[in-house]
Chain A
């Protein structure tokens, strides 16, 4: 047989299941996107293509609420992702270029702690913490909580990138009398940039998307997009929610795509 090799590897049905898997993953997203362009007032009937729900989001009766929520979401995501990326970049340098040291495992455990603690538990703990020190809930508490859980998401791509960079680059700079600081900012940092951008984008999406922790630590009347959407959905799914969802999911998909291509690009050559 010509392709015995191929034959051994392939199992009947596996391709079908993979395609089914893709259908399950994408069907809900496609359906919501399509129905967000529905001209009908009702969810069930299709009455042709229209942008009325998009204009409803921006000018309709709930537009004020959604605009404020969107502004809050984006401000928090930008500050939280920037801060978390900075902290993660420094930490990755310490972990990957810091040699062997005693607290290495503990440090890594601490950095990945937000990934191990169930989200609802972290939400409860953060709420209790702010309450116990008398920190009034509001935008600032949301921001602080977001910075914490964004750190591991920024850290993982950055440290992965750094492990792929040989130290000969910065050693060469040091041999040529660069200071350690110069070797870091002029050599290492540019080489790490794909990992840093990728980490930033992931942290940004994770912050933008968070519902559970935000829902616990936000003050009364303070909303981000996910909490505003959740509030609306509790009264029933409306077409304007689908329009917002479609916009938000487009932002996520665009950012992940950028992150994917940036992290794949190799600038060490």
Chain B
């Protein structure tokens, strides 16, 4: 992520060494109270007993995790079997996020490459064009997507008018609509790291390959791709992670059949299901998965940094 840029500062100096505790204190305090403490409290809540109609009773219980992983029958007295309902929802989220990541890569890589090979003056303009939509409200973007893709929406109108199709394509409420929504939500996260990697790439390597009669696509696959792999990897992580826990795209574009983790969690706090410890437990499972992925990616990044010098 931006970690490398902001922490490994060559421009770090010590003019305000004596004051640094005081300078950092507000950030430490605010984030400890408003982010760290809440996450710890969520961990505690996932081990408490549920109160009907929301909230908790302060009694230790493994019921939330038990409900997540095991099925003990309607009255809870049968021998435990694996509960597939929630694992399926998690699996679907992983799968959807992976599909959205592939879609972003398929479109994001050529885009990033194209931008990185523009003239130095034009590059920032292209980057700016790609990032603007990201700053527009995610809710508005998702609603706009839904409006565009509806059965009677402008896209179907257009395709029918030019005679490409006879009856409207049903896109909304499919898996593909969700993938498209996720792609739309996080595309800049794919483009920017790849762009940064390609920009640093030394094209003399490609020229050398061409001089040795490598075809263009061989050069791309065997020379360029290995060189920019860390950027591609970072882009995939940055799209995959937020996609997995997203709420708006599956909720607005997916419909009931395409339920993902985000909706499952939301339902525990908003809907009638109202099981807070279970919602906290599902959030903990999601957070654990994300942290494992981030740690894994940090190690890969460190390896790549070492190899690249």
User: A32 contacts B147, CB within 8 Å?
Assistant: yes
User: A256 contacts B12, CB within 8 Å?
Assistant: no
Please, which residues of chain A bring their CB within 8 A of the CB of B241? 118
Please, which residues of chain B bring their CB within 8 A of the CB of A241? 143
Chain A positions 240 through 263: 1 when the CB is less than 8 Å from some CB of chain B, otherwise 0:
011001001100110111001000
User: B245 contacts A119, CB within 8 Å?
Assistant: yes
Please, which residues of chain B bring their CB within 8 A of the CB of A230? 139
User: A98 contacts B24, CB within 8 Å?
Assistant: yes
A44 to B120, CA, bound (A): 44
Please, which residues of chain A bring their CB within 8 A of the CB of B152? 43-44
- Asked if B228 CB lies within 8 Å of chain A CBs, one says no
User: B137 contacts A120, CB within 8 Å?
Assistant: no
A32 to B133, CA, bound (A): 13
Chain A positions 91 through 120: 1 when the CB is less than 8 Å from some CB of chain B, otherwise 0:
101111111110011011011111111111
CB distance from A159 to the nearest CB of B (A): 5
- Asked if A128 CB lies within 8 Å of chain B CBs, one says yes
CB distance from B14 to the nearest CB of A (A): 3
- Asked if B68 CB lies within 8 Å of chain A CBs, one says no
Please, which residues of chain A bring their CB within 8 A of the CB of B207? 5, 8
The size bracket of the interface on B is: 35 or more
The count of residues in chain A whose C-beta lies closer than 8 Å to any C-beta of chain B is 110
A151 to B28, CA, bound (A): 11
- The majority secondary structure among interface residues of chain B is helix
- Asked if A145 CB lies within 8 Å of chain B CBs, one says yes
A183 to B13, CA, bound (A): 14
Chain A positions 21 through 63: 1 when the CB is less than 8 Å from some CB of chain B, otherwise 0:
1101111110110010000000110000000000000000000
- Asked if B206 CB lies within 8 Å of chain A CBs, one says yes
Docked complex: A142-169 residues within 8 A CB-CB of B: 144-145, 147-149, 151, 155-156, 159-160, 162-167
- Chain A: which residue is nearest B125 at the CB level? A260
Instruction: From B69-77, B106-114, B301-309, give the one contacting chain A.
Output: B106-114
Please, which residues of chain B bring their CB within 8 A of the CB of A248? 136-137, 140
Please, which residues of chain A bring their CB within 8 A of the CB of B147? 28, 31-32, 35, 43, 237, 242
Please, which residues of chain A bring their CB within 8 A of the CB of B5? 160
Given the known inter-chain contacts A13-B110, A91-B26, A96-B12, please indicate yes or no for A128 contacting B42, CB distance below 8 A. yes
A245 to B139, CA, bound (A): 9
User: B111 contacts A32, CB within 8 Å?
Assistant: no
- Chain A: which residue is nearest B140 at the CB level? A245
- Chain A: which residue is nearest B289 at the CB level? A118
Option from B35, B42, B141, B247 in Cβ contact (under 8 Å) with A148: B35
A101 to B13, CA, bound (A): 11
User: B107 contacts A17, CB within 8 Å?
Assistant: yes
The 3 closest A-B pairs by CB, nearest first: A99-B14, A98-B20, A94-B23
Given contacts A116-B290, A117-B39, A148-B31, list 19 more A-B pairs with CB under 8 A.
A8-B207, A11-B220, A17-B114, A18-B114, A25-B133, A31-B148, A32-B143, A44-B152, A94-B23, A95-B20, A96-B13, A99-B14, A111-B31, A127-B269, A128-B42, A167-B13, A208-B137, A209-B136, A229-B143
- On B, residues with C-beta under 8 Å from A are 1-3, 5-7, 9-17, 19-24, 26-28, 30-32, 34-39, 41-42, 45, 55, 107-108, 110-111, 113-115, 117, 124, 126, 128-133, 135-141, 143-148, 152, 154, 157, 183-184, 187, 203, 206-207, 210, 216, 219-220, 241-242, 244-248, 252, 261-262, 265-266, 269-270, 276, 279-280, 283, 286-287, 290-291, 294
